[in-house]
Structure 1
Amino acid sequence: MRRGNIIKLVALVLLVVAAVALSIKPLMDPEKGILLGLDLRGGVHLVLQAEPNEDGTPITNDDIDKAKAIIEKRVNDLGVSEPIVQSDYDKKRIVIDLAGVTDPDKAVDILKTTAKLTFRDPQGNIVLEGDDLKDAKGGQGQASGYVVNLSFSSEGAKKFGELTTQLIGQRLGVYLDEDLLTNPTVNTPILNGQAEITGYATLEEAANDAVLMRSGSLPVSMSIAEKRQVGASLGVDSLNKSIYAGAYGVIFIFLFMLIFYRVPGAVANLSLFVYALIVLWIFWMFRVVLTLPGIAGFILSVGMAVDFNIIIYERVKEEIRAGKSLRAGVESGFSRAFITVIDAHVTTLIAAITLFYFGTGAIQGFALTLGIGIIVTLFTGITFTRQVLRWIVGANPKMKTIWFGVRGDA
């Protein structure tokens, strides 16, 4: 029995060490690892101001909501990871944070344009608008160059078919706002609701126009109230300072746990490695964007994980001082501390859920990482830490109580 427990402990330690070593590279990969927010990765901060309507009608909150929804769709189609788009109803503004974007001017052009797609006859008259457009995608042309492939709804396909039938042998101008995209000659009627806009020099150019076409027109015109680029160097500096602060804190915690709790302290330190691995892999799997407030939430959850262990170990020490054996002290200590730690962590979890539900941006990032950390803390504390202590006591039931931070033998 003792030998089996020793083998389990050695295997567990080796497994944790291997897991840490194998996790560093994929989790820290700049492209495929844990996503970093604007304050860590750098990017663009934009504030778009709604301009008064030409007819004098007031701009409503519904207009701002619609504009926000369209901008969010455009940002998502651009492939920006976890953008932050917020509405300011009082000032009629939309605040946008785009992590990893290096060209703010291009981002502004795509986000604020009204993006109205029209088809015009040789005389310049608008003969069809893009309201019936179902989808638009950039791609490689059949012959050469790049194109935007258009798909119309059933009603739009009917209109487009009638239009191309009437304009055989004539040119059909395709405009995005007032910019001519292409001016092809209609050779045959297009009745299947599929059209192709040619003439793009790059795939990126075609894809950007496709984003604008399929996301629709903004209900109001937007101007730039603020445009600020956050340098990647600032983000790296913030990240490094956070890492150093966290490393110093972890070293102090490890030493504290070892000095005051001896063997249980070593188990707690091992449990913290497991806790951190689980949390970071959750961040990676669910594409959680890590920001400075998010790191603060993570570090706070580490503190709660340590507090979890301290409460339990103090109960274990009390049971051992009362004359119980190590095995009985461990079991009784966990049982006595269970309600206390559950109560503390559940109330904090409720606070995190409340912050996430009612907060925005940085507050949500803090609440999310804190909530994930609390849940993982409960899991590792109740399962991992307890089981490892059982193996240790089973491997050496006659271990001196000094190794559990209790002077004298029980």
Structure 2
Amino acid sequence: MLQVDLWKRVLIWATVVVGLLLAMPNAFYSRVETHNDAVKAIEAGFDTSENRDLAAGWPSYLPSGLVNLGLDLRGGAHLLAEVQVQDVYEARMESLWPEVRDLLRDARDEVGTIRLQPNAPLGELRIKISEPAGMNRAIELVRTLAQPVVSLTGAGSTDLEVRGEDDVLVITLSEAERQALDDRTMQQSLEIIRRRIDEVGTREPTIQRQGFDRILIQVPGIGSAAELKEIIGTTAQLTFQPVVSRTSDSSERPGVGNELVPALDQEGVYYILEQAPVVTGEDLTNAQPAFDQNGRPAVNFSFNPSGARRFGDYTAQNIGSPFAIVLDDEVISAPVIQAHIAGGSGIITGNFTVEESTQLAVLLRAGALPAELVFLEERTIGPELGQDSIDAGKIATMVAFVAVLVFMALSYGLFGLFANVALILNIALIFGLLSMIGATLTLPGIAGIVLTVGMAVDANVLVFERIREELRTARGPARAIELGYEKALSAIVDANITTFITAVILYVMGSGPVRGFAVTLGFGILTSVFTAIFVTRLLIVIWFERRRPKTIEV
């Protein structure tokens, strides 16, 4: 008997209505996008009358999810950056030197006096000792600083290799530690770049590792590649270092374990600082733009518990001494410690503009890049090129859509019209699913939708051809329709499962545009099977119940 239970009808129509509601915001794209931006701004603390007016431009009780437009549709910036992972080796050895120095000084009776040799190869510490007979003792002591390598490939290895060359103690990073450092540096760079870009509110950026030491960055909707480089290209290495002295001689030798750093706002002024910082930007938990007591732009900051403890201990022991705040190898401030700072918070002052203080706060909140980025490739894709792509995609989709609609109507008559209604709903459901998960639509994604338009009617063609065959056996129309759906179901499921598996493989193994194609293809398969098996059948059943035809023409 040709019938569909009431609960099934309710569930089918409810699914269709929900899909249409989710897809609806895309028909009012600019309006909904403005509403979403205003809501985010209000949530971030910018609760102005202008933002409230913009937020009221779209009803809050309606869905507001949109299909994000990719770089090739919206325009934006494309960068390919190379991470200078060697910088991390140098920083690691610099941070190790104070520990080695203190350890060998305690054993001065055996190793004699020590002196750090300058211009050592990258990733090496070379220390000259005055008592070569104590070399074995020095090696034994320094090896106590070695730690197990934290990586799957370096299991059982230590991070340091120590050897002696006559009267020179040589400390290097092990190969396993270098590989682990490279991997951690790349992962940290990816995460920090992602956080910095997220801070400025861009939509669905593509940030992924390419090869050994390169990162691909694509950000739709941003003005230019230069603007993107300003956001992510600054290392923002913040340190708080003890001041040894101040000088105006740029050629003065700072001494072993110290460094000469220029002042940011005072030309010709240099500070000699201890290389080992008390705390670094990694200990920061928050940074916000603010104003100092004189109304000048500044940045408030606060440390995590361990950083706050070290900062508090140092300020308690060094009241009256200057203390340098160093950003990217420039002293931006060197205040004198007036009292014990126990709260783990403070303020960075300088000759900032409001924009500079805001940008500095963004960089500090996102964290410091562990190594310098060298940009190998940069492109700015204008929105007019993206609009051309959208227009071309629209034309391709409409041509395919109209051709399929006409073919189905001419080939199957009234039943073809039912399939056309289901096809229209199918496209809406695809956009509803894409909006629900916040997916990004690219040109390959549009190709996936166009392909889905052609594939969506396959299931209906199988069903209708099967109904034709059943009608030739002199069965009644109701029985022919019922058997047509029953016998075509296995072929429909088999064909779509294999295509869906292909889409899953493309998504898992591919990247960027390939994934965009796989997402729209996979969603298109799900929605086309749903509309063909359930929606089209329900439309036919409703029509049949009302007309009760003695014969049908397919």
Normalised by the size of structure 1, how large is the TM-score? Answer: 0.84
**Counterpart residue type for residue 231 of structure 2:** I
Cα deviations across residues 309-342 of structure 1 (Å, max 9, x unaligned)? 2112211222223222222222111111111111
Partner of 1:136: 286
2: CA distance between counterparts of 1:237 and 1:194?
51
Match of 1:254 among 405, 409, 413: 405
Name the Cα RMSD after superposition: 3.3
1:401 is paired with a residue whose SS is coil
> After superposition, where does 1:176-255 map in structure 2 within 5 Å?
176-182=327-333, 186-198=337-349, 200-202=352-354, 205-255=356-406
2:238 alignment counterpart: 117
Gaps of 5+ in 1: 406-410
Cα distance change, pair 322–182 in 1 and its aligned pair in 2 (3 A): farther
Contact 2:426 2:527 in 1 (8 A): yes
- Residue of structure 2 aligned with 1:25, choices 19, 27, 37: 27
| Structure 2 match to 1:391 | 542
- In structure 1, give the amino acid aligned to 2:216: V
Letter in 2 for 1:164: T
1:310 and 2:461 matched: yes
* Pair 1:300 & 2:451 matched: yes
User: Is the partner of 2:313 in helix, strand or coil?
Assistant: helix
Q: Counterpart of 2:371 in 1: which secondary structure?
A: coil
2-side partners of 1:40 and 1:224: how far apart?
A: 24
Question: Which region of structure 1 is more displaced relative to structure 2, 21-30 or 124-133?
Answer: 21-30
The match for 1:75 among 197, 200, 216 is 197
Q: Which one is further off, 308-317 or 75-84? A: 75-84
SS across alignment from 1:225: strand
Q: Per-residue CA shift, 1:251-304, capped at 9, x if unaligned?
A: 111111111111221111111222122211221221101100111112222222
Give the Å deviation of 1:383.
2.0
Secondary structure of residue in 1 paired with 2:541: helix
Within 5 Å, which residues of 2 pair with 1:10-409?
23=25, 25-27=27-29, 29=31, 31=34, 32=36, 33-51=66-84, 53=86, 55-56=121-122, 60=179, 62=183, 63-89=185-211, 92-121=213-242, 123=245, 124=271, 125=273, 127-130=277-280, 132-141=282-291, 147-166=298-317, 168=319, 172-182=323-333, 186-198=337-349, 200-202=352-354, 205-398=356-549, 400-402=551-553, 405=554
Distance 1:394 1:23, change over 3 A: farther
- In 2: Cα distance, 1:280 partner to 1:302 partner: 13
Partner Cα distance (2:22, 2:480) in 1: 31
Does the Cα contact within 8 Å between 2:22 and 2:435 map onto a contact in 1? no
Contact 1:48 1:112 in 2 (8 A): no
Contact 2:239 2:281 in 1 (8 A): no
Greater Rg by CA:
2
Q: Distance in 2 between matches of 1:320 and 1:218?
A: 71
- In 2, the alpha carbon distance for the partners of 1:313 and 1:353 equals 29
Contact 1:104 1:227 in 2 (8 A): yes
Offset of residue 228 of structure 1: 1.0
Structure 1 position 167, deviation (Å): 5.4
Task: Give, in whole Å, the separation in 2 of the partners of 1:287 and 1:20.
Answer: 11
Residue 408 of structure 1: aligned partner: none
Moved more, 22-31 or 260-269: 22-31
Paired positions, count: 393
Change (3 A) 1:277 1:21: closer
Cα-to-partner distance string for 1:366-403 (whole Å, 9 max, x where unaligned): 1111111111222222222211111011111116423x
* Conserved? CA contact 1:133–1:150, under 8 Å: no
Q: Which has the higher contact order (CA 8 A, sep 6+)?
A: 1
CA contact (8 A) 1:327 1:397 kept: no
Note if contact 2:196-2:366 (Cα within 8 Å) is conserved in structure 1. yes
Moved more, 371-380 or 388-397: 371-380
User: Which deviates further from its counterpart, 142-151 or 156-165?
Assistant: 142-151
Structure 2 CA distance for aligned equivalents of residues 391 and 142 of structure 1:
73
Unaligned runs of 5+ in 2: 1-5, 37-65, 91-120, 124-174, 246-270
The 1-side partners of 2:397 and 2:422 are apart by 17
Q: Give the direction of change, closer, same or farther, for the CA distance of 1:24–1:50 in structure 2 (3 Å limit).
A: closer
Conserved? CA contact 1:136–1:211, under 8 Å: no
Q: CA deviation at 1:236?
A: 0.5
Q: CA deviation at 1:66?
A: 3.7
1:133, 1:218 → 2: CA distance?
Answer: 14
More helix by share: 1
One-letter amino acid matched to 2:206: I
Secondary structure of residue in 2 paired with 1:25:
helix
Q: Secondary structure at the match of 2:278?
A: strand
CA distance in 2, matches of 1:305, 1:386: 14
1:132-161, CA deviations, whole angstroms, 9 ceiling, x for partnerless residues? 524224345587565544232211111122
Amino acid paired to 2:404: I
Deviation at 1:28? 6.1
Report if the CA contact (8 A) 1:173-1:183 is conserved.
yes
For the residue of structure 1 that corresponds to 2:376, the secondary structure is strand
Q: 1:74 to 1:328 in 2, by over 3 A?
A: same
- The one-letter code of the counterpart of 2:446 is I
State whether residues 393 and 399 of structure 1, in contact with CA within 8 Å, keep that contact through their aligned partners in structure 2. Answer: no
Residues 23 and 428 in structure 2, CA contact (< 8 A), matched pair in contact too: no
Distance in 2 (CA, whole Å) between partners of 1:140 and 1:323 is 84
Q: Distance between the aligned counterparts of 2:201 and 2:321, measured in 1?
A: 38
Contact 2:238 2:326 in 1 (8 A): yes
Describe the shift of the 1:338–1:21 C-alpha distance in structure 2 as closer, same or farther (beyond 3 A): closer
Q: What does the per-residue CA deviation read over 1:31-83, in whole Å, with 9 as the maximum and x for residues that have no partner?
A: 55321111011111111123473644598551434433332333233322221
Task: Tell me: CA distance 1:251–1:23, structure 2 relative to 1, closer, same or farther (3 Å).
Answer: farther
CA 1:289–1:22: 2 relative to 1, 3 Å: closer
Shift of the 258–182 alpha-carbon distance from structure 1 to 2, 3 Å rule, reads farther
Equivalent residue letter for 1:80 = T
Secondary structure, aligned partner of 2:216: strand
Amino acid at match of 1:212: L
CA shift at 1:113, angstroms? 2.9
For 1:45, give the aligned amino acid: H
